[in-house]
Structure 1
Amino acid sequence: MISLPYGHGIKVYLYDYDFNFEPNDVSTAYDELQIFRDIACSEADRERTFVGNLSATSLIHLPSHWACIKFIRRTLQNIQHTGFSLSYEVIDANSDCGVNKTTRLLSEEGYIFSPGYSISSYPQDLECTWLVESQPGSTIAVTFLDFQLSYTYSCDFAADYVQIGNSNTSYAFKYCDSDSPQPFQTRDNRLWVFFKSGQWRHRGFWLYYKGSGDSIDLDRPSSDYWKTGSAKYGWTRDDDTGGTSFVGWSRDPNKKGPFKKSDGGSIHLSYRFILAEVIVAVTSLLTIRN
């Protein structure tokens, strides 16, 4: 599990994976990597599943300060499959909301989501305003990772909607209902986001922003990412099933202050450490340094 203080989200980079599979008389057994947005690995909160192999990097956004990463070994033999390698970053996440209040965000990277997301529907009669300010001379790239507001036949008359733009007096775009907002790039270092709800409730929205105009699709860990933490791993025999759990954690005792966006850890798992029919749970713990 990855457990962080409230107000943070998690980005997971799966750099490559190579998992075994074995056909039999009835079906095919697949080794599998599962990523969840909670700490209980509950099926309702499973975000992604990986089987087979892929040499490219996959980026998984998690709208939660919790995560569970589980590897399941179902095959009996393995000769050449190598396992997986991943890392994660901690970034800011904000859903603060209040009438006649603007929430100012100064982080270069983060998530904004409607109040209650992703645990419950957003409340009624909200007016939320966020102002993201990046470094002078930079721009801000935005992508919506999820969007589902209450039904309306026209955005012109929508009770629930999101507006986004460079100014809070003339927003560039307005989205409602089940729109699919396209990626947005600001003209300067300021981004305004406004959300209003009426008498209905729905799942809400979740967006990701990053300063300096970097492409969302080509997002990679920051250049100082590998310098900010160290990873240690060990084996325990304390899980409920009597199996073997792989435990990892990442701390930097020399770093002061609260979390930075480059905090995180890395995990590498090789088949040679795993016996058949063993479920491996990856556990990571980050703490705020004093």
Structure 2
Amino acid sequence: MIGIWQIQQHFCVKCGGILSAPLGNISSPNFPGLYPYSIDCSWLIVVAEGSSVLLTFHHFELEYHGSCAYDYIKIYNGIAEDEGNLLGTFCGDISPPQFTSSWNVMSIIFHSDRHVAFRGFSVGYRKGNLL
């Protein structure tokens, strides 16, 4: 049986959004505490035209599964709606590599399932120069 607190916790968590500053940080909800169950977050990073986005993970600790079927982060070179832009799907406790977008947009999707939570992630981004 789901308690009222669990329902409120699920509906009150806010995460994701559009980030347009030249640098910033993104973290899972409640970081460095445990992230909530059953959550989906989507961040769109947009820097100045003619620039790239550099992404560096500082902490990474999600539930592990061989194909990241439970909890995961997806990184996109551009908008998340285009699977052709997918740079990778990551879970477990090995930090993803540093990423540099090929244009001024990058997306991060975070998903957690209904069971097992970890500390989550913290990632920094900054505007870079396109080569």
When normalised by structure 2's length, the TM-score is: 0.80
The residue that corresponds to 1:116 in the other structure is 30
1:128 is aligned to 2:44: no
Of residues 210, 216, 219, the one that matches 2:126 is 210
What amino acid maps onto 2:23 in structure 1? E
Specify the SS of the correspondent of 1:139.
strand
The residue that corresponds to 1:186 in the other structure is 101
**Cα distance, 1:212 vs. partner?**
2.4
d(CA) in 1 for partners of 2:110, 2:26: 11
CA-based RMSD: 1.7
- Work out the percentage of aligned pairs sharing the same amino acid: 30
CA deviations on 1:144-183 (whole Å, 9 max, x unpaired) are: 000000132x1x2521000011231222111001122111
**Cα distance, 1:204 vs. partner?**
0.1
Contact 2:30 2:36 (C-alpha < 8 Å) held by counterparts: yes
Aligned pairs for 1:223-242 within 5 A: none
Contact 2:50 2:129 (C-alpha < 8 Å) held by counterparts: no
**Cα distance, 1:200 vs. partner?**
1.6
d(CA) in 1 for partners of 2:68, 2:74: 14
CA deviations on 1:207-263 (whole Å, 9 max, x unpaired) are: 00001249xxxxxxxxxxxxxxxxxxxxxxxxxxxxxxxxxxxxxxxxxxxxxxxxx
Contact 2:53 2:128 (C-alpha < 8 Å) held by counterparts: yes
d(CA) in 2 for partners of 1:203, 1:134: 28
The residue that corresponds to 1:232 in the other structure is none
Flag as ranges the 4+ runs of structure 1 deviating above 2 A.
none
Contact 2:68 2:90 (C-alpha < 8 Å) held by counterparts: no
Question: Over alpha carbons, which structure has the higher Rg?
Answer: 1
Assess, with a 3 A threshold, how the Cα gap between structure 1 residues 213 and 142 changes in structure 2: closer, same or farther.
Answer: farther
The residue that corresponds to 2:51 in the other structure is 138
Structure with a larger share of its residues in helix = 2
Gaps of 5+ in 1: 1-94, 215-290
What amino acid maps onto 2:88 in structure 1? F
d(CA) in 1 for partners of 2:45, 2:107: 6
Assess, with a 3 A threshold, how the Cα gap between structure 1 residues 212 and 175 changes in structure 2: closer, same or farther.
Answer: same
d(CA) in 1 for partners of 2:40, 2:91: 15
What amino acid maps onto 1:160 in structure 2? D
Contact 1:111 1:209 (C-alpha < 8 Å) held by counterparts: yes
The residue that corresponds to 2:117 in the other structure is 201
The residue that corresponds to 2:17 in the other structure is 103
Number of aligned residue pairs? 113
**Could you tell which deviates more after superposition, 136-145 or 168-177?**
168-177
1:163 is aligned to 2:78: no
Specify the SS of the correspondent of 1:212.
strand
Gaps of 5+ in 2: 1-12
The residue that corresponds to 1:55 in the other structure is none
Assess, with a 3 A threshold, how the Cα gap between structure 1 residues 142 and 149 changes in structure 2: closer, same or farther.
Answer: same
When normalised by structure 1's length, the TM-score is: 0.37
Specify the SS of the correspondent of 1:164.
strand
